[in-house]
């Protein structure tokens, strides 16, 4: 989803040239003219493509992000979340490209959130471990790099292949379903378009080091659900608060993360939408589909 938002953003800027990659065939119509097939877990393909194209900037958005899947498919998780970044670092060492890598709040244990960029990582899941390992590869490298850490990305994908908390709450309450929503976890939900803009600001400035690129509101999932219901004028009598411990999940989640984004605001000029504004944007995009 982030890749799709970046493609649209960058194609709209005439001063930039874009090469958009994905594994397999192109699935995004607007990328037809700039698409190249690439499996980032294939070291040979990565080195050949980046050596051939000689990009100034590489934005790496591919990852296994299903936290429970990472716990049960550790080898595949490590291949995509860690090995791939090692191959990209090697290619960028050869070509001199700046590498922008996407990371996550799940590198933290969630005991002291919200976090700034100086927070001490202590992941509680294999997904978090893999993303921290990728960050460490960059920290130990000699290339020019930036790390964009983000939180709970939501939005509308081109093919509607992904749901999000807004669409889930809307469809469930409209159907009269009873839903339980966690109220003991804290996040700063991030609109996909905002994350894309944050990445673009970092890439265009070749910003060095770590930046928190997330939404500006600190909310529980229950807070998000209440705001969604209010926006769509939905009855909340079927919605109940729930403790995270009542859900059976393979991987442990950090209870309270969320980010301070002051560094990104001050150094990049990054200014995300509020969650209320994000609901309206998602609603409009959903209606257009």
**What number is the average pLDDT over the span 39-53?**
98
Rounded-to-integer distance, Cα 116 and Cα 263, Å? 8
Structure tokens belonging to residue 240: 């109940």
pLDDT band at 95 (very low <50, low <70, confident <90, very high): very high
**What number is the average pLDDT over the span 2-6?**
96
Q: Which domain holds residue 243?
A: 2-288
pLDDT, position 12: 94
pLDDT, position 257: 97
The number of beta carbons lying within 10 Å of the beta carbon of residue 52 is 11
pLDDT at residue 162 greater than cutoff 80: no
Coil, strand or helix at 5: helix
Rounded-to-integer distance, Cα 113 and Cα 124, Å? 14
Rounded-to-integer distance, Cα 176 and Cα 169, Å? 11
pLDDT digits (tens, 9 = 90+) for 182-193: 999 999 999 999
Rounded-to-integer distance, Cα 40 and Cα 77, Å? 13
**What number is the average pLDDT over the span 207-215?**
98
Q: What is the CATH number of the domain that holds 38?
A: 3.40.50.720
pLDDT at residue 55 greater than cutoff 90: yes
**What number is the average pLDDT over the span 4-18?**
95
pLDDT digits (tens, 9 = 90+) for 227-267: 999 999 999 999 999 998 888 899 999 999 999 999 999 99
pLDDT at residue 152 greater than cutoff 80: yes
Closest residue by Cα to residue 226 from 240, 242, 243: 240
pLDDT, position 158: 87
Q: List, in sequence order, every residue forming a beta bridge with 149; answer none if it has no partner.
A: 103, 212
Taking CA 150 as the corner, what is the angle to CA 284 and CA 40, rounded to the nearest 5 degrees?
95
Instruction: Give the count of domains, the chain.
Output: 1
Give the global pTM: 0.97
pLDDT, position 181: 96
């Amino acid at each position: 989803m982030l890749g799709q938002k970046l493609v649209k953003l960058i194609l709209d800027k005439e001063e930039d040239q874009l090469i958009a990659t994905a594994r397999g065939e192109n699935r995004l119509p607007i990328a037809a003219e700039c698409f190249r097939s690439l499996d980032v877990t294939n070291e040979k393909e990565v080195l050949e493509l980046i050596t051939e194209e000689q990009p100034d900037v590489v934005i790496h958005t591919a990852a296994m992000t299903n936290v429970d899947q990472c716990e049960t498919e550790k080898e595949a998780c490590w291949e995509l979340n860690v090995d791939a970044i090692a191959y990209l670092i090697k290619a960028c060492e050869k070509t001199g490209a700046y590498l922008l890598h996407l990371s996550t709040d799940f590198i933290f244990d969630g005991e002291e959130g919200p976090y700034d960029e100086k927070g001490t990582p202590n992941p509680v899941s294999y997904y978090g471990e893999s993303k921290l390992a990728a960050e460490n590869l960059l920290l130990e490298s000699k290339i020019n790099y930036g790390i964009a850490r983000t939180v709970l990305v939501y939005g509308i994908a081109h093919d509607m292949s992904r749901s999000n908390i807004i669409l889930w709450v809307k469809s469930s309450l409209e159907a009269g379903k009873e839903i339980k929503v966690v109220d003991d976890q804290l996040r700063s939900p991030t609109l996909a378009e905002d994350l894309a803009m944050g990445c673009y600001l970092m890439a265009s400035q070749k910003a060095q080091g770590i930046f928190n690129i997330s939404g500006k509101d600190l909310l529980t999932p229950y807070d998000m659900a209440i705001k969604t219901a209010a926006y769509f004028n939905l009855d909340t009598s079927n919605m109940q608060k729930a403790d995270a411990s009542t859900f059976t999940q393979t991987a442990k989640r950090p209870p309270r993360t969320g980010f301070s984004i002051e560094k990104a605001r001050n150094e990049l000029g990054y200014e995300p939408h509020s969650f209320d504004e994000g609901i309206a944007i998602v609603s409009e995009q959903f209606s257009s589909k």
